[in-house]
Chain A
Amino acid sequence: MTETDLHFFIDSTMSYFEETTGEAAQPGIPFLKGRDPLVRDFSGIIGISGQRKGCIYITASRALLNQLAQCILNRPTISREEMKDLAGEIANTIAGNVREAYGSTFMISVPVVVEGRAKDIVVPQEPPAFVIPFTWRDCEASLVLSLTP
């Protein structure tokens, strides 16, 4: 992962919230993922194949997904299944949008979504995984990137 790679994903993530809700998300400082678990209420995982290999996942709180779904669906009541679905859709959109930079050889899977019962989402130790923390409406979330160079 290079600094340029990180910027592609940060831009894609920030654009997602800005374009979807008109309200910008605030990126934090990226850091290397250690052994500590990094799982919030719902996580959407996308497998990457082709020229780059690995996975990306977004992990977000119920509060963030609930508010985001309210904006998208324009109604106050959001089901657990809809929050789960949205976690996968955010990951899909962020991963799909970075193909603008990487091209069609950056192949993405359909999303797999897990609820936060898992102790952690296992990513390979090599190459090191990067975490991009961000907040939207004061709700915290993270994008985790584990990709070959």
Chain B
Amino acid sequence: MKHLPTVLIVDDSRVIRHAIAGFLADYPVVTVEAGDGEAALEAYARYRPALVTLDITMPEMDGLAVLSELKAVDPDLQVMVITALKDEQTRRKALALGADDFLTKPVTAHQVRDSFESLTGKIGMVQG
């Protein structure tokens, strides 16, 4: 049986995690969720996702620290940052740490799907 690629959705808001999972429901992927930075690193180690959507403002360990750790172990991992922090400094910092796309909340289904298709197209992941 062919394994579907995994997308890890990281956000401390359960509503946002479920919304993003819903946006990606038509693609042949499995989504898994994490509600904080430490849980994100544990989920990455367990599921080895092809793509991560990553919030920044989270308890315990913020998304930029998670991004740094993920890119250190897997530079090819596709990371879509989805954050409320709408300032240029944060965008630059995230991109400098290796984020592959940077979206600001509130995000629409259209924005997330466009980014998903662009990022997964780069790595030849199966499209819906």
Contact = CB atoms under 8 A, between A and B. Distances in A.
Interface of A: 16, 19-20, 69, 72-74, 81-82, 85-86, 88-89, 92-100, 102-104, 106, 108, 110
A98 B85 CA distance: 8
B14 A82 contact: yes
Given A74-B22, A110-B58, A97 B12 contact: no
Contacts of B88: 103
Contacts of A94: 84
Interface residues on B, range: 20 to 34
A58 B60 CA distance: 23
25 contacts: A19-B106, A20-B106, A69-B15, A72-B19, A74-B22, A85-B13, A85-B14, A85-B15, A88-B13, A89-B13, A92-B57, A92-B105, A94-B84, A96-B86, A96-B105, A97-B84, A97-B104, A98-B86, A99-B87, A102-B87, A103-B87, A103-B89, A104-B90, A106-B87, A108-B85
B86 A97 contact: yes
Most A C-beta atoms less than 10 A away, residue of B13, B15, B22: B15
Contacts of A95: 84
A81 B14 contact: yes
Interface in B65-111: 83-90, 104-106, 108
Contacts of B15: 69, 72-73, 82, 85-86, 89
Interface of B: 12-16, 18-19, 22, 57-59, 83-90, 104-106, 108
Contacts of B12: 110
B57 A108 contact: yes
Contacts of A110: 12, 57-59
A114 to B, nearest CB: 16
Contacts of A98: 86
B62 to A, nearest CB: 9
